[in-house]
Amino acid sequence: METQEFLTQEKKEELEKELEHLKTTVRAEILERLAFAKSLGDLSENAEYHSSKDAQGKNEARISQIEAILKNAVVVEANTDGTIGLGSTVILLKKETGEEKTYQIVGNEEADFSSGKISFESPIGAAVMNKSKGDEVSVETPKGVTHYQINSVQ
């Protein structure tokens, strides 16, 4: 069963560029390396050949992965009614510390915690989905429950 991949337009375009690069430039480079390695003779002990075949396998696997993601992609845009959904950017106030955190709610493929992009299925993402500015949420973490107030939704 194939699952839908939720992507922002920006991530969809990024994946399309990567796919094009892998299919054209990277494939051609690997084929050149394979041809050179074959020209060296005995393939059984040819490290260049085996390395190139490994790179070719990884490249083709990534191409297949991106094609599957794009085939099942649903491009999302942030809600404009103030309700948090995929694509929304939220500013949360951590009640315990007074610290503010900014997150963009994205699909799993796009999630990157270090750049503030969290999955809608993550504990914080799931807690804030369909909430609005001023709402309070509690998030179960390994360190216990953390309480947040939603200060802003964009």
Instruction: Break the chain into its structural domains and give their ranges.
Output: 5-75, 89-153
| 105-109, 133-137, 147-151, range with the lowest pLDDT | 105-109
Check whether domain 89-153 has CATH 3.10.50.30, yes or no: yes
Residues 125-149: b if buried by 16+ CB within 10 A, e if exposed: bebbbebeeeeebebeeeeeebebe
How confident is the model over 69-123, as pLDDT tens digits? 999 888 888 777 889 988 899 999 998 899 999 999 998 888 998 999 999 999 9
Three-state secondary structure call for residue 92: strand
% of the chain residues with pLDDT over 70: 99
Q: Residue 143: its pLDDT value, please?
A: 83
CATH code that applies to domain 5-75: 1.10.287.180
Burial classification of residue 20, based on how many CB atoms lie within 10 Å of its CB (0-12 exposed, 13-18 middle, 19 or more buried): exposed
Q: Residue 2: its pLDDT value, please?
A: 61
Q: Residue 68: its pLDDT value, please?
A: 92
How confident is the model over 19-58, as pLDDT tens digits? 999 999 999 999 999 999 888 878 778 888 999 999 999 9
CB 148 within 8 A of CB 95: yes
Q: Same fold for the domain at 5-75 and the one at 89-153?
A: no
When pLDDT is averaged across residues 129-143 and rounded to a whole number, the result is: 91
CB 53 within 8 A of CB 34: yes
Q: Report the C-alpha dihedral over residues 61, 67, 72, 75, rounded to 10 degrees.
A: 120
User: Cβ atoms within 10 A of the Cβ of 11, count?
Assistant: 20
